[in-house]
Amino acid sequence: MDRPSLESVVERLTAWRAEAVERLRADDPSALDLKLALDAAVRWLRVCERCRLPAGGEVVVLPVPDGYEPLGDYRVMWDGETEERQYWREVARAYPGDLLVKLP
Q: What is the pLDDT of residue 56?
A: 77
Contact 46, 14 (CB under 8 A): no
Q: Which residues contact 80 (CB under 8 A, 6 or more apart)?
A: 87, 88, 89
pLDDT digits (tens, 9 = 90+) for 46-102: 988 888 887 778 889 999 888 777 778 899 999 999 999 999 999 999 988 899 988
pLDDT digits (tens, 9 = 90+) for 23-52: 999 999 999 999 999 999 999 999 888 888
Q: What is the pLDDT of residue 2?
A: 64
Average pLDDT over residues 4-28: 94
Q: What is the pLDDT of residue 36?
A: 97
